[in-house]
Amino acid sequence: MKRLLRALLAFVMLGSLAVVGTVATATTAQADGCYTWNRTLKQGHSGADVTQLQIRVAGYPGYGAELAIDGKFGPATAAAVKRFQQAYGLSADGVAGNQTYSKIYALQDNDCTPAHFTYAEMNRCNSTWSGGSVSAATAKQNALRAMWKLEALRHALGDRPLVTSSGFRSTACNNAAGGAAGSNHLTGRAIDLVGTPTFCQIVKQARYHGFNHILGPGFPGHNDHAHISGQATRRWSAPNCGI
Ligand SMILES: [Zn+2]
């Protein structure tokens, strides 16, 4: 009888432990190999954690816009968070809390790249990210930011794989590829896409995901790939796609 009671007690204790564990999982986002947010972020906040958030939601700035990665959580960041939440079926309030962080953690690899893109495919030129028009560290950071926009574009196009043919280029690599002088490839921001979806589907959808520079079919030299990049002022040209 005593043994049975002890066993019953142990069972009950195990049960309550399991309940505690379940509750903790539901309310606390897991620590992440890349970056872990420690507070809920909303309009009015600023700091390095806002910058990290902005990088992850920069693919959701709205049509024809680019989100400033400035560490200040203003209306544009709130709107981007909201679009990110909507895109993944979360309750969309523009406030980044555990639900949003959990989604980001699920989407990112330990090197901080989004799940479906790698540094390697953003740099087929050299392993050092040097020789472009910005420092190697800046080029690599620009490529990371471009990848998060690509992840948003990929998701919007039905989670179909996107195939990159070129990303960062040193001056030597850019000259060898016949790239334009001053190309965004020299900064790590530009990406060339080939394969499927169609180039017109890509360039049209890219307008919603933070790419101010889009070149595609009908623009000289761009009938065999779609070129998308961030840049300060908008320049879109893909005449065969109606852009
Ligand atoms: Zn290009």
- Separation of 166 CA from ligand 1 center, angstroms? 7
Q: How many helices (H) and strands (E) does the chain have?
A: 8, 5
pTM equals 0.88
**pLDDT grade, residue 24 (50/70/90)?**
very low
Q: Catalytic residue numbers?
A: 222
Residue 156 has a pLDDT of: 98
229 CA → ligand 1 middle, Å: 8
Residue 28: predicted pLDDT: 56
| Residue 16 pLDDT > 70 | no
Write out pLDDT tens, residues 147-159. 999 999 999 999 9
How much distance in Å is there from the Cα of 156 to the middle of ligand 1? 21
pLDDT of residue 29: 58
Q: What is the pLDDT of residues 66-75, one digit of tens each?
A: 999 999 999 9
Q: What's the mean pLDDT in 195-208? A: 97
Instruction: Write out the two tokens for 43.
Output: 């309009």
Rounded distance from Cα 53 to ligand 1 centre (Å):
27
Pick 1 or 173 by higher pLDDT: 173
pLDDT of 20: 41
State in Å: Cα 175 to ligand 1 middle.
12
pLDDT at 184 over 60: yes
Q: What is the mean pLDDT of residues 182-204?
A: 97
Q: Determine the pLDDT at residue 32.
A: 87
Tokens 């471009």 found at: 146
Confidence of residue 2 (pLDDT cuts 50, 70, 90): very low
Residue 12 — very low, low, confident or very high, per pLDDT cuts 50/70/90? very low
The better pLDDT of the pair 228, 29 is held by: 228
Query: Is 90 exceeded by the pLDDT of residue 5?
Result: no
| Nearby residues for ligand 1 (ion, Cβ within 5 Å) | 190, 192, 227
DSSP at 22: H
Distance between Cα 101 and ligand 1 center (Å):
32
Give which of 21, 82, 64 is closest to 243, Cα–Cα.
64
Pair type for strands 235-237 and 213-215? parallel
Distance 174 CA to ligand 1 centre (A): 10
- Quote the CA–CA distance of 229 and 27 in Å, as a whole number: 37
Could you tell me the distance, in angstroms and rounded to a whole number, from the CA of residue 227 to the centre of ligand 1?
4
Altogether, the residues listed in the chain come to a count of 243
Tokens of 206: 């890219």
CB-based contacts of 186: which residues, under 8 Å, 6+ apart? 132, 133, 134, 168, 169, 170, 171, 174, 179
Question: What pLDDT does residue 31 have?
Answer: 76
User: Which range, of 1-5, 43-47, 79-83, averages the lowest pLDDT?
Assistant: 1-5
